[in-house]
Structure 1
Amino acid sequence: MIRIAYDPIYAHPLPEGHRFPMLKYELIPGQLLHEGSISEKNLFTPIPVKTETVLLTHDKEYLDKLINQTLSAAEQRRIGFPQSPELTQRELVITQGTIDCCYYAFEYGVALNIAGGTHHAFADRGEGFCLLNDMAVAANYLLREKKAAKIIIIDLDVHQGNGTAKLFENNPDVFTFSMHGAHNYPFHKEHSDLDLPLKDGTTGKEYLSLLQEALPHLIQKVQPDFAFYLSGVDILETDKFGKLKVTLDECKQRDAFVFDILRTNNIPVTVAMGGGYSPDVRIITEAHCNTFRLATAMY
């Protein structure tokens, strides 16, 4: 039985102009429950992550600013959200959800966080709607607890995982792979262990071909014993920021391919949803729901 991290705080309201990106966090579990793809038994509610665990990845000064609501105006602009205690609490819960998913992934092969994938967060700052880097925190936690020795982070959001790349640039135990738009945010790219920048207008056929060539070789080379998968749906042709030409079905094929490679190689995986900015929230929801449907069908 797959397990899925979800808390209503994931969809907590923001000031006008910031609410739309949060809608999917209500709609995804609602749709999956409605259609019977999952039941309430699949869902679990995380608690906030411990400070000591966050500090495996993030600087104490930055974490104190988040908790004490002392981010500067410039720091808030870089993140893209106005600070609030609820927003910080949300991030702490999401991060623990990703850690909890790791334990369920060891047991069931896969576990998913309905939120997460906050890959633009650095040790000392947040960027691009990301406050804490949940996958980085979880990876460092697994390494500290000796639950994993070699980790791969497969980041298929259309935006480069710059925070993740920087956090692990000198860590041989975590391999970072980012396949993203070359001319998309962030405009200053960090160096992942492997970056595959895509030109504007890349089709789904081209996208899948590149992924199908790269990922099997990476798995063979890195020999990971645990994987994180950021399954962003901003690669869709309908996405207003993505600049790629990937269809809904091709996005589903991407997820199926990643799951198949990891399952075949007996590599447990924790999945987070990442970005999605199609003007029609139903398309975003359907693309994310496909990830959950595939996980339940394949594991």
Structure 2
Amino acid sequence: MVPLVFDPIYSQLDLPRRHRFPIEKYQGIYDALIAQGITESCFHRPQPLSEQRILAEFDPDYIGPLLEGALDAKAMRRIGFPWSSQLIRRTRTAVAGTLLTAELALAHGKALNLTGGYHHAHYDFGSGFCLVNDLYLAANAMLASPDIDKVLVFDCDVHQGDGTAALAQGRDDIITVSLHGEKNFPHRKQVSDMDFGLPKGTQDNEYLPVVENALDMALNLYRPDAVIYDAGVDIHIDDDLGHLDISTQGVYQRDRLVFNRCEQEGLPVAAVIGGGYQRDIPALVEVHLQLFRAAGVISNTTSRSAPAY
């Protein structure tokens, strides 16, 4: 069974009414997996990442005030969440979940975190609902393995992985590839090793060849030893913030393509669910479940309530 990583705290964050972030979706994914027969024994629970570990890899002048609740109001507005001790506990646990996913992927070939993809967090500031960059931390953790000399971060979230790109700038052991909406957030893009900007309204038949070509190019050019996959579903046609027109089946095909190609190359894959911003939580959960279908965690059958395209 593919290892899964989850903690209830992923969805335990008190937010203002009508806040844009769909915090309930993580528990919703877990509940849906349990309903489809996945047992508790398949889940691994992360321990919160230590403050020392976070301080060691990011700017202490940012992390210190962040953890203590002393970050200025402008910096918190850029993050998009009101500060609370609960937010910090959740962040430390969610980030630790991606590190645990990376560890399990190296041991089992692939593993999935039921959160993750905080790719807008930079060395010295947070942004876009991202406080600490879990993808960068997970890449560094993988590189600590004697068998891993190069990690590919393959980011298919609709928003460019600007924080990851900036953090890995100038490094040849962390390769960043981002497929994103060209006219979407962040407005100021960073330079990844490979960037693929997509126009508004991009559909399956245009999108999937770009994914395949991007992955093939990255694997052939950089020859990574492991892959971190950000499987954001904000590319979906019904997403409130995505502006692309990818169907539910297109999301599945994308995720299956990534897993198949990496399996062909014998590459371990640590996957995170990334962004997704439909306000209809059951509909959003159904789109996120495509990752788990593509990974073979649950069968590839679409629920009756899911949109058909």
TM-score band (shorter)?
Answer: over 0.9
Matches within 5 A, 1:47-66: 47-66=47-66
Deviation of 1:220 after TM superposition, in Å, equals 1.4
- The equivalent of 2:271 in structure 1 is 271
| Deviation readout 1:93-137 (Å, 9 max, x if unpaired) | 111111111121112111111111000000111000000000101
Give the Cα separation in 2 of the matches to 1:51 and 1:148.
26
Give the Cα separation in 2 of the matches to 1:52 and 1:5.
22
| Deviation readout 1:171-223 (Å, 9 max, x if unpaired) | 11010000000000000000000000001111111000111122112111111
CA contact (8 A) 1:56 1:137 kept: no
- The equivalent of 1:94 in structure 2 is 94
- The equivalent of 2:76 in structure 1 is 76
Give the Cα separation in 2 of the matches to 1:174 and 1:56.
18
Give the Cα separation in 2 of the matches to 1:240 and 1:102.
30
- The equivalent of 2:193 in structure 1 is 193
- The equivalent of 2:22 in structure 1 is 21
Deviation of 1:57 after TM superposition, in Å, equals 2.9
| Deviation readout 1:81-102 (Å, 9 max, x if unpaired) | 0011111111111111111111
CA contact (8 A) 2:165 2:192 kept: yes
TM-score, normalised by the number of residues in structure 1: 0.95
Identity of matched residues, %: 39
Deviation of 1:55 after TM superposition, in Å, equals 3.5
Give the Cα separation in 1 of the matches to 2:255 and 2:215.
12
Give the Cα separation in 2 of the matches to 1:122 and 1:248.
31
Cα 1:133–1:100 shift into 2, 3 Å = same
Deviation of 1:292 after TM superposition, in Å, equals 1.2
- SS at 1:16 equivalent: coil
Matches within 5 A, 1:1-299: 1-12=1-12, 13-18=14-19, 21-36=22-37, 38-146=38-146, 148-296=148-296
Letter in 2 for 1:14: L
Cα 1:147–1:54 shift into 2, 3 Å = farther
Gaps of 5+ in 2: 299-309
- SS at 2:228 equivalent: strand
- SS at 1:55 equivalent: helix
Cα 1:174–1:20 shift into 2, 3 Å = closer
Deviation of 1:145 after TM superposition, in Å, equals 5.0
Give the Cα separation in 1 of the matches to 2:214 and 2:293.
25
CA contact (8 A) 1:53 1:141 kept: no
Deviation of 1:15 after TM superposition, in Å, equals 2.6
Give the Cα separation in 2 of the matches to 1:282 and 1:187.
30
| RMSD (Å), alpha carbons | 1.5
Gaps of 5+ in 1: none
